[in-house]
Amino acid sequence: MKNQLGGEITIGGIRLQSNVLMAPLAGYTCFPFRLMVERLGAGSAYTEMVSADGLKYNNQATTKLLYTDDREKLKCVQLLGSIPTVFEKAAKSELLAPFQIIDINMGCPVPQVVKAGEGVALMEDMSKASKIIEACKRSGKVVSVKCRIGRNREKIVIEEFARMCESSGADMITVHGRTRDMMYEGEPLYEYIKAAKDAVKIPVFANGGIDSKDKAECAMQQTGADGVMLARFGFERPLLFAELTNRPTTETKLSLVMNQLALATECFDELSVLIYIKKLSSYFMKKLPGTKRYKQELYKAGSVAQVRGVLGKIFGEA
Ligand X SMILES: Cc1cc2nc3c(=O)[nH]c(=O)nc-3n(C[C@H](O)[C@H](O)[C@H](O)COP(=O)(O)O)c2cc1C
By CB under 6 A, tell whether 216 contacts ligand X: no
By CB under 6 A, tell whether 81 contacts ligand X: no
> Which of the stretches 84-92, 131-139, 208-216, 258-266 binds ligand X when contact is defined by CB under 6 A?
208-216
By CB under 6 A, tell whether 23 contacts ligand X: yes
Q: How many angstroms separate the CA atoms of 318 and 316, rounded?
A: 6
By CB under 6 A, tell whether 209 contacts ligand X: yes
Task: Specify the residue, 179 or 310, whose C-beta has the smaller distance to ligand X.
Answer: 179
Number of separate helices (H) and strands (E) present in the chain: 14, 10
By CB under 6 A, tell whether 34 contacts ligand X: no
By CB under 6 A, tell whether 49 contacts ligand X: yes
Q: Which of 108, 136, 147, 165 is catalytic?
A: 108
> Which of the stretches 53-61, 83-91, 190-198, 228-236 binds ligand X when contact is defined by CB under 6 A?
228-236
Q: Name the strands in the sheet holding 101-106, side by side, starting at the edge strand that comes first in the sequence.
A: 20-22, 227-230, 204-207, 172-176, 142-147, 101-106, 76-80, 46-51
Burial of 2 (0-12, 13-18, 19+ CB in 10 A): exposed
* Minimum gap (Å) between residue 234 Cβ and ligand X: 7
Contact between 228 and 203 (Cβ < 8 Å): no
**Near ligand X by CB under 6 A: residue from 24, 43, 84, 150:** 24
By CB under 6 A, tell whether 238 contacts ligand X: no
Number of residues that bind ligand X (CB under 6 A): 21
Contact between 161 and 147 (Cβ < 8 Å): yes
Contact between 27 and 15 (Cβ < 8 Å): no
Residues near ligand X, by CB under 6 A: 23-26, 48-49, 78, 105, 107-108, 146, 176, 184, 207-210, 230-233
Catalytic residues: 108
